[in-house]
Amino acid sequence: MIDLLVSPFVEFAFMRRALLGVVLLSISSCPVGVFLMLRRMSLAGDAMAHAILPGAATGFLLFGLAIVPMTVGGLIAGVLVALGAGAVSRLTVQKEDASMAAFYLISLAVGVLIVSLRGSSVDLMHVLFGSVLALNDEALTLIAGISIATLAALLLLWRGLIAECLDPLFLRSVSGIGPLVHFVFLGLVVLNLVGGFQALGTLLSVGLMMLPAAAARFWTARVDTMCLLAIAIGIASSTAGLLLSYHFTLPSGPAIILSAGLVYFVSILFGGRGILRVLVTRHRHRTA
């Protein structure tokens, strides 16, 4: 059993690079996912994951599968979509969720069209679903930099982020850092989605951000514990997904996300705040 779990990472360098990449992504993106969930912006994260596609596709159109151009393009596109959706929601009658949905649908279509102009269906699948087993040193350096920047920003803005999750109006009334916290956090979301894009593609990168966070919510109410648990779930799910993809010849990205999805469903049922616990508590109250 130990040989089945360890030997793929010992024998193959590409498996070690993949494992390092998803561990770094879990450490970085899972806490961001916790705050997205607490701010009730989970679907906004999904929309922003698609929003980076036109920029990444433009980088691919001009330079091929080069990491730096695709990353810079994805960052620019994500920031533009986030700012555009926010401006529409503030200057018109349309709510932010509707404007974000409109922007992401347009971005997804434009991105697919751009990739199709130059690349093949294989290139399109690479952009949409990533290739975690093909991570190179350049990609790992980028992901490591994103992880360090994210953790540093979270530590600096920790109290502000928690305050904005609980009562953003109160934070704005007592402090001038409310807008700064909001826009820095949106920047962290885009940055981590771009990092996740290198491994999991634009369609699946948000999965590693949100599923571990959603699963951790069923086990604890403390934000710091929730973040640590989400990281642990992300790392465990990523490792399990890589092993499944290796032993059963499955696509690695979907295997990782489905592993996280399995943990999520287990948490729904057996978590300290899950369905079974709620049913047992209700039964005790009725019989008391």
The predicted-structure confidence for 84-138, as pLDDT tens digits, reads as follows 877 787 778 777 777 877 887 888 888 888 888 876 777 777 777 888 998 999 9
**Which pLDDT score is estimated for 170?**
66
Calculate the CA dihedral of residues 49, 50, 56, 60 and round it to 10 degrees: 130
**Which pLDDT score is estimated for 271?**
93
Domain ranges of the chain: 2-287
**Which pLDDT score is estimated for 144?**
95
The residue among 251, 258, 269 whose CA lies nearest residue 126 is 251
Between these two residues, 152 and 197, which has the higher pLDDT value?
152
Per-residue pLDDT band for 171 (boundaries 50, 70, 90) equals low
CATH class of 2-287: mainly alpha
Phi/psi at 95 (5° precision): -75, 160
Cα distances (Å, whole numbers) of residue 57 to 23, 53, 123, 190: 26, 6, 10, 16
Per-residue pLDDT band for 2 (boundaries 50, 70, 90) equals confident
Phi/psi at 235 (5° precision): -65, -45
**Which pLDDT score is estimated for 9?**
94
Under DSSP, is residue 144 helix (H, G, I), strand (E, B) or coil?
helix
